[in-house]
C-alpha cells in the first residue's frame, strides 16, 4: 500500500500580497526620485556645454570677420551658430537643456577684449536651488 503524500497546499494570503506590493512601490518610488535628479543634472550639463560651444563659435566669428563688432554678433547669434560648422546639430544647440533660448550679450573683459555672456535662466535657477539645498 502506498502512502499518500499529504502536503497541504498553501496559497498566498492577501496580507502577503499587500506587503510585496508595498515593497515594490517603495523601491520604484526611490528609483523614480533618483531618475528625476539624474535627468535634471543631465539638462544642466547639456546647458553648460552648450554655453561653452556658443561662446567659442561667437568668438571665432568675431575674430574671423573684422567688419563685425560684438554687438552685431550678439544680436545675430542664432544665425551665426546655425551657419557654423562647429555647431553640429544647430537647432539643438540653440536651446538649453530645458528647451528655452539662451540670452547672449557682449561684454568687455578686464583686458579690454570683447567677449560674450551666454546665460540660461533655468540653469541659474537650478544652480541656486542646488546651492541652497547643501
Nearest partner of 52 among 121, 118, 102, 122, judged by Cα: 118
9: in domain? no
**Band of residue 2 on the pLDDT scale cut at 50, 70, 90:** low
Task: Give a yes or no: residue 5 inside a domain.
Answer: no
pLDDT digits (tens, 9 = 90+) for 47-106: 999 999 999 999 999 888 878 888 888 888 999 999 988 888 888 899 999 999 999 999
Query: How far is residue 86's CA from residue 92's CA, in Å, rounded to a whole number?
Result: 13
Whether residue 55 is contained in a domain is answered as yes
* Tens-place pLDDT, residues 17-43: 999 999 999 999 888 887 777 888 999
Residue 78: the pLDDT is 92
Quick one: pLDDT at residue 4? 61
Determine the structural domain holding residue 50 and report its residue range: 14-132
- Our measurement of the distance from residue 91's CA atom to the centroid of its chain's CA atoms, rounded to an integer in Å, reads 16
CA–CA gap between residue 97 and residue 101 (Å, rounded)? 10
Q: Is the dihedral of CA 94, 97, 101, 102 positive or negative?
A: negative
What is the number of structural domains in the chain?
1
Tell whether 21 is covered by a domain: yes
3 within a domain of the structure (yes/no): no
pLDDT of residue 44: 94
Amino acid at each position: 500500500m502506498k502512502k499518500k503524500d499529504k502536503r497541504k497546499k498553501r496559497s498566498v494570503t492577501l496580507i502577503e500580497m499587500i506587503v510585496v506590493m508595498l515593497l515594490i512601490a517603495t523601491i520604484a518610488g526611490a528609483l523614480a526620485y533618483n531618475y528625476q535628479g539624474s535627468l535634471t543634472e543631465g539638462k544642466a550639463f547639456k546647458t553648460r556645454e552648450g554655453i561653452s560651444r556658443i561662446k567659442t563659435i561667437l568668438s571665432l566669428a568675431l575674430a574671423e570677420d573684422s567688419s563685425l563688432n560684438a554687438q552685431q554678433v550678439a544680436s545675430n547669434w542664432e544665425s551665426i551658430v546655425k551657419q557654423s560648422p562647429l555647431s553640429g546639430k544647430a537647432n539643438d544647440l540653440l536651446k538649453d537643456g530645458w528647451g528655452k533660448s539662451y540670452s547672449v550679450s557682449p561684454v568687455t573683459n578686464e583686458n579690454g577684449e570683447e567677449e560674450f555672456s551666454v546665460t540660461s535662466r533655468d540653469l541659474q535657477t537650478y544652480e541656486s536651488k542646488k546651492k541652497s539645498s547643501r
